[in-house]
Structure 1
Amino acid sequence: MLSRLFKPLLIAVAFALALAACSRIDLAYRNLDRLVPWSLGDYLDMNREQKVLLDERLKQHLAWHCKTQLPSYLDWLDRVRTMVAEDQVTDQALQQRTREARAAIGRVAEEITPSATELLRGMSDAQVAEMRQAFRDDISERQKKYVDTPLPKQIARRTERMEKRLTPWLGELSAAQRLRVQAWSQALGDQNRQWIANRAHWQQQLVLAMDQRSDASFEPRLAQLLQRKESLWTPAYRMAYQNTEQQARTLLVDLMQLSTPAQRQLLQQRLGKVRNDFSELKCLKG
């Protein structure tokens, strides 16, 4: 639930790394205060007091995020654009951009922890039970969608999803690029299993923390769940994650080496549009 509640606050960091095919990120950002309550409502039925608290804190966090964090994202986008323009999309450069993005996500996690603590501490036993059931449903649904299918089909679907994400940024992929995406998907193998198992592990840790939400230990425990999630990863997922990051960087390096001038120009245009969309936000100018 927490990931669904607060992940939208991180969209400004994550969009470029994930190459999300969204042409109006500025529009999505401006409407986060309306989108987030809907995502939370998928998990539990909030009472009026909780809805008021969520609305109030969300507005505060979004104002803080726009005024204090977005300027650094514009600089980050400029560094990405320079990488592309100077043909310096290397493994080392991508690792540095990833570290910068991870640090930005960490700042947001720290900012929202007190509000998350207050909101979750005020939940009733019935709401916690509702959360527990929602988590079970979430894992069951993901298990059916991503694991309970033959591995070749998982690989084919992953290939298709990545091609769909890449096309708005690079245009139509060449045959060599499509083959490279297929090789990337195959190299990830059965990672879906580790990903979902780790997700279930994190959710279980949150449920255990919720059982102690009246104790003084609750806030530091929640801070770990939000700010230092990697400390709670399962050993299998830790290995899978390292491989996933490595494979993603190698894929991006290879795709840029295989790219045409027209594709690089389109990528620059798209990155420039994203930067311009953010720079025109009223909260930034204010």
Structure 2
Amino acid sequence: MTAPSVQRQPATVRRVAVLLALALLLGGCSTTRFAYQQMDWFAAWWVDDYIPLDNRQDARLQADVRAFRQWHCRHELPRYDAWLADLESLALQPPIRETEVAHLQNRFFKALDRLLARIEPGATRLLSSLSDAQVIALGQAMARNQADKREELLGDDPAGRRLARMNERAERWLGPLTGEQRATLVNWNQGRGPITAIWLEGRGRWQAALMESLEQRHEPHFPSQVRLLLSRDGAARGEAYQTMRADSRQALAGLVTDLVNQSTPAQRTHLTREIRQLRTDFTALSCPAGASAAAG
């Protein structure tokens, strides 16, 4: 299986965090290994698409990403394998309970918290080193990207697009869906309301908060501002976003529970195969020099 083409698009510092957090979850055969081995290059490429870096900034960024990858390989990869093993065990024993899915969900978000905390020093160094021209370029790039996202996600029938995306994701893990599962997805989608618009509004608030904080990037309190921006509490994105996120997380746990409980033996075989392939990819990953595959 060949690696898919990478969509070239700008990325905020938080998007870089997500890249580093989820590069391993691109899914499928050599794709996972390719993404992990090329993490240094991907991160520098995406950041540079948002901010034209000078040579010193680029070298510092790549050094930070290499250090991150060493830490990630040593401390996080074993956790991922254990998480996937628990996911496989749960999925193979329906009926499952929503509380069990929520527990796995919470473990995933805790892993994301660790990743965001780990990149915080590097993100602070990069942002505090920006020139006025680079800050202006960042603001312009984020505005363009936000406009593109709004056009992409809030065009004709955003709820229909959301349902299509979720159907695609469900089929990626379960294979062809049954009529009952498709009806479950329709019911889930009807209860979500204007979550895409709320997400975009929160995203815009976050970008505005980042630009405001950059006006004080040379002040002693700037690192605490970056910490707030990188946290998942959603404070910078507004109350509507925070409420939507909490509701969506609970609704997603319920959806996953229903889809697994409605799954056929063939679908569970498909899901097991996907999970085991991802675990195999993790096992096959080579760590950077100086990193051990054992958790520390």
Report the TM-score, using the length of structure 2 for normalisation. Answer: 0.88
Q: Which runs of 5+ in 1 are unaligned?
A: none
Query: Is residue 152 of structure 2 the alignment partner of residue 145 of structure 1?
Result: yes
1:205 aligned residue (201, 205, 209): 209
Partner of 1:3: 14
- CA separation of 1:146/1:233 partners in 2, compared to 1, >3 Å: closer, same or farther? same
Q: 1:253 Cα shift?
A: 1.0
Partner of 1:79: 86
Q: Structure 2: how far apart are the matches of 1:230 and 1:33? A: 28
Does the 8 A contact of 2:105 with 2:253 survive in 1? no
Q: Which runs of 5+ in 2 are unaligned?
A: 1-11
Query: What does 1:206-285 align with in structure 2 at a 5 Å threshold?
Result: 206-283=210-287, 285=293
- CA separation of 1:209/1:173 partners in 2, compared to 1, >3 Å: closer, same or farther? same
Q: Structure 2: how far apart are the matches of 1:279 and 1:139? A: 37
2:192 aligned residue (179, 188, 192): 188
SS at match of 2:251: helix
Q: Deviation per CA, 1:155-208, whole angstroms, max 9, x where unpaired?
A: 211111111112221111112211221222221121111100000111111111
Partner of 1:54: 61
Q: Structure 2: how far apart are the matches of 1:273 and 1:228? A: 30
Q: List, as ranges, runs of 4+ consecutive aligned residues in structure 1 with deviation greater than 4 Å.
A: 20-23
Identity %, equivalent residues: 28
Query: What does 1:34-73 align with in structure 2 at a 5 Å threshold?
Result: 34-73=41-80
Q: Structure 2: how far apart are the matches of 1:22 and 1:162? A: 18
Does the 8 A contact of 1:194 with 1:236 survive in 2? yes
Partner of 1:136: 143
Letter in 2 for 1:73: Y
SS at match of 1:282: coil
Partner of 1:95: 102
Letter in 1 for 2:191: A
SS at match of 2:220: coil
| Greater per-residue helix proportion | 1
- After TM superposition, the structure 1 stretch with the greater mean CA deviation from structure 2, 21-30 or 257-266, is 21-30
Q: 1:227 Cα shift?
A: 2.6
Q: 1:124 Cα shift?
A: 0.3
Does the 8 A contact of 1:198 with 1:237 survive in 2? yes
Partner of 1:165: 169
Q: Structure 2: how far apart are the matches of 1:165 and 1:32? A: 24
Report the TM-score, using the length of structure 1 for normalisation. Answer: 0.91
Does the 8 A contact of 2:27 with 2:278 survive in 1? no
